[in-house]
Structure 1
Amino acid sequence: MDINIGIAEEDRKATADALSRVLADSYLLYLKTHNYHWNVTGELFHSLHEQFEEQYTELADAIDEIAERIRALGYRAPGTFKEFNELTSIEEESEEPEALEMVRRLAIGNEQVLRTARQALEPAKEAEDEATVDLLTQRLHVHSKTAWMLRSHLE
């Protein structure tokens, strides 16, 4: 069935592609945050364990919303590690950093998602796709606040 939601196909494609990058960055940040939740140690364990859980839980919901918006635009949402690795600007890690280094890396990751979401705003605005603009604006708010809270641990 043809999609007729008032947004031209080329605009839907550009927006879905940009959202796919936001999805990939969000998913990799989710994985990193969940990993740190499991593996944080030290005197900050309890507070960081809880803070990381709040963050990865929020990211899990956001990932679903982003993927559903891509689908609503008429495109397949990426959903494999291979696809995410090709689309993401978040670096995967294999070492186990100390607690405050985890915090620093998560602050950087949230700032990266902010930059990716800002880039995705352009095609959504050009397409006058208010639903995507609203979704991205919410993501900007959440990641700005999260990055600030994480940076506050490092001051």
Structure 2
Amino acid sequence: MPGDNANKALIDSLNGLLADYFALYVKTKNYHWHVAGLNFHDLHLLFDEQSAELFALTDVVAERVRKNGGRTLTSIKSVGAHSVIKDDDREKVDALDMVKTLRDDNAKLVARIREAKAAAGAAGDNATEGLSDDWTDQAEKRVWFLSQILG
């Protein structure tokens, strides 16, 4: 039976993933609000769709933390401390730079999901392990769509 260390590692991994989902949601929504140029319409809609998908998963991940006996993130500061997704505070960002940044950030998210899946396996959390396959598929789809825009 998995021990306390495996469960703690799982909770830490899930909280990191939760932070990444929040950070990537905010960045994607920011780009949705500020995209401009020839591809405005398509990118505006794509970023909105992707941000909604990201936000929907925050509650699912947080509930996995709680179901494993952990405490979730409590603040924006906590999100920033646990996320590998970096802020983009620039006031003007080229649309293709937005696409490249989101592609790269979603690829980072895939890696974090895989870490959470491994931690879930070590902790004996079959539910999180199973859910992570869907999360990976969704993130890989976002990477694929964004990559295709870049050519």
**1:103 maps onto 2:103 in alignment:** no
Structure 1 counterpart of 2:48, from 35, 53, 56: 53
Gaps of 5+ in 1: 1-5
1:115 corresponds in structure 2 to 111
- Distance in 2 (CA, whole Å) between partners of 1:65 and 1:7 is 23
SS at match of 1:36: helix
Structure 2 counterpart of 1:64, from 36, 59, 66: 59
Gaps of 5+ in 2: none
Contact 1:124 1:133 in 2 (8 A): yes
- Distance in 2 (CA, whole Å) between partners of 1:145 and 1:107 is 10
What amino acid maps onto 2:150 in structure 1? L
Structure 2 counterpart of 1:38, from 4, 15, 33: 33
Query: How high is the TM-score relative to the length of structure 2?
Result: 0.94
Count of residues in Structure 1 that have an aligned counterpart in Structure 2: 150
Contact 1:20 1:78 in 2 (8 A): yes
**What is the aligned-residue identity percentage?**
35
Coordinate RMSD, CA, aligned: 1.3
2:148 corresponds in structure 1 to 152
Deviation (angstroms), 1:10: 3.1
Query: How high is the TM-score relative to the length of structure 1?
Result: 0.92
- Distance in 2 (CA, whole Å) between partners of 1:60 and 1:78 is 15
